[in-house]
Amino acid sequence: MHSGRMGRTGQMLDAVHLSNALYKQWIPDTNYENKTNWDKGDIPCGNDIVQFSAQRKVSVFVETTHAVLEMRLPVDGEFILNSGAGFYAVTGQDPGCGTGVTTEFKDSESFQWYDPTLWQAAATLNDLEQGNFLFSVHEESVPCHCDDVVFKALSSFRVDTSSSHSSITVKSVSVLGNTFATQSEFSQYLSSSLGKLQFHGSSAVAVGNPACDDPSGCDCGNSVHHQQICSTVTCDSPDCKNPLRPTGHCCDVCGAIVTLLFDDGFNLQTYRERIRHLFLALPQYQSIQMGMSKVLKPQRLMGIISLGTLSEIQIVILDGEQGIQSAALAQDIMKDARSHGSNLGISGVEVQTSSEETGDSAGLAVGVVFGVLLLITLIILGVLVHKGVVQMPTLNRFKNSNNMPDLGGPLDHGFDNPMFDQPTMMPDIPSLYGTGVSNSISMTQTAVHFVNPVYDESETDFTA
């Protein structure tokens, strides 16, 4: 019998989540002492008849001794007995058991690996035991490729691993206190009678994936399973003006999303700690839940033409209400990124909030629209020129030909226009026409930006 420490259950969520490599713990179990595993909602006692469905495949962990009147076992099943655990029959009536009932062990076939509600995430094993769980978007609630998967030490389970892929790859898997980090050892366990009772489904769980060694974080890798993950999620109706849908999440939420563009100098762990110390320790942000991770966001022109993907840092901020506190924290993070971004490896920041649109965001929207229109115009013009539909003028058309006859005499240059030929007639306005014009339009990988004089004095939600 394997023994080990049993993780404490709790519902406290840590304030911030860093998706580099986490411990993901499976919640359901097939333990005899778990009241929720019995159809009568209580653990059987000495006057009860214990029944397991004849065709059910299950392994049941028994932590201590139990009295029973009768037990009906399945054809294919297994008890995992802790040290000193077992069953015994009571002579006569069990005085503390009532009149006795027939109680049946519930079905555990429906628990799916890709159900995000059946996992808990923590940064360390100690946090798992203390119940310090992390908030994540739905895709990242399921074990990512670089994560360590934990099934509680004093516990058994049954999980359906079926998916559209042949395998599920993670860093390691811990079962009954034993950690499997190499595929050869874990394959032997999966082929055992106990392993077959605990893991079933079309996809084989594989271990040995390397840890994330990128300072900027690693993509979770579950986007290919987005549809399957979301099919298990029930979404509530958000109570806010402009609900948001974070990348990797299945539901609209009330809160804020901060998107960071980064360069080689960015370190996700360091930045996570910065946000924790600067903002999350403040009294007004004590109730905030925040998930921070690297995501691959698809880039499309006009929502149709694929331009590949762009790696970004996504910070999802929720406050459990209409998102007012989330919006305030998002603004604080944006101001900090603008002031210190060059030292942190941050090259751009964008903020979305579910609260009412502000003038800054409206000005940004106008800039983005004009930028996209300009980009589309240039692309269409390039295509037309390439196909010969439009011909661009060349220098040869304006050169004097030697065969051209002499027009005879000097050319008439016309007349002077007093409105435009006097340099003092057009005053110099540096803020509109001065040297700053050359820097008023810029292009990045995701958008075209320009300085609108009307909004030049206000802040925008995006800096490059």
Contacts of 166 (CB under 8 A, 6+ apart): 202, 203, 204
Percent composition of the chain: helix, strand, coil (DSSP 3-state, to 5): 25, 25, 50
- Long-range (24+ apart) CB contacts under 8 A made by 372-375 are 372/302, 372/447, 372/448, 374/448, 375/443, 375/448
Which of 33-47, 386-400, 410-424 is predicted least confidently?
A: 410-424
Please tell me whether residue 40 adopts helix, strand or coil conformation.
coil
Q: How far apart are CA 241 and CA 327, in angstroms?
A: 13
- Position 281 confidence tier, pLDDT thresholds 50, 70, 90: very high
pLDDT > 50? residue 437: no
- pLDDT tens digits for 97-123? 988 999 999 999 999 999 999 999 998
Helix axes 324-344 and 268-275, enclosed angle (nearest 10):
130
Residue-range domains of the chain with CATH: 17-233 (no CATH), 237-353 (3.30.70.260)
Residue with more model confidence, 299 or 418: 299
Residue 253, strand partner residues:
244
Cα 281 → chain centroid: 23
* Contact (CB, 8 A) for 155 and 63: no
pLDDT > 60? residue 396: no
- pLDDT tens digits for 161-199? 999 999 999 999 999 999 999 999 999 999 999 999 999
Note the pLDDT of residue 225. 97
Does the predicted model carry a pTM greater than 0.75? no
Note the pLDDT of residue 298. 77
Note the pLDDT of residue 322. 80
* Contact (CB, 8 A) for 105 and 74: no
- Position 391 confidence tier, pLDDT thresholds 50, 70, 90: low
Note the pLDDT of residue 373. 62
- Position 380 confidence tier, pLDDT thresholds 50, 70, 90: confident
pLDDT > 90? residue 392: no
pLDDT > 60? residue 44: yes
Q: How far apart are CA 2 and CA 153, in angstroms?
A: 8
Residue type, 423: P
Contacts of 395 (CB under 8 A, 6+ apart): none
What is Dmax (Cα atoms) for the chain?
A: 134
Average pLDDT, whole number, for the chain? 81
Return the H-helix or E-strand segment holding 86. strand 86-88
Residue with more model confidence, 169 or 368: 169
Note the pLDDT of residue 168. 98
Average pLDDT on 206-230 reads: 95
Q: How far is CA 356 from CA 191, 243, 256, 459, in A?
A: 56, 10, 12, 16
In this structure, what are the phi and psi dihedrals at residue 189, rounded to the nearest 5 degrees?
-65, -45
* Contact (CB, 8 A) for 458 and 360: yes
Q: How many CB atoms lie within 10 A of CB 60?
A: 24
Residue with more model confidence, 412 or 385: 385
Return the H-helix or E-strand segment holding 327. helix 324-344
Q: How far apart are CA 421 and CA 123, in angstroms?
A: 71
Please tell me whether residue 72 adopts helix, strand or coil conformation.
strand
Percentage of residues in the chain with pLDDT exceeding 70?
73
- Which structure tokens are listed for 61? 């962990």
- Lookup result for tokens 């006097």: 422
Please tell me whether residue 362 adopts helix, strand or coil conformation.
helix
Q: How far apart are CA 414 and CA 393, in angstroms?
A: 25
In this structure, what are the phi and psi dihedrals at residue 382, rounded to the nearest 5 degrees?
-65, -40
- pLDDT tens digits for 335-347? 999 999 999 999 9
Q: How far apart are CA 2 and CA 83, in angstroms?
A: 9
Q: How far is CA 72 from CA 41, 51, 77, 427, in A?
A: 18, 5, 11, 98
- pLDDT tens digits for 438-448? 444 344 444 43
Residue with more model confidence, 365 or 181: 181
Vertex 268 angle, CA 227 and 118, to 5°: 35
- Which structure tokens are listed for 6? 């049993």
- Position 309 confidence tier, pLDDT thresholds 50, 70, 90: confident
- Position 400 confidence tier, pLDDT thresholds 50, 70, 90: very low
Report which DSSP code applies to 114: T
Residue 260, strand partner residues:
313, 349
Note the pLDDT of residue 305. 76
- Position 297 confidence tier, pLDDT thresholds 50, 70, 90: confident
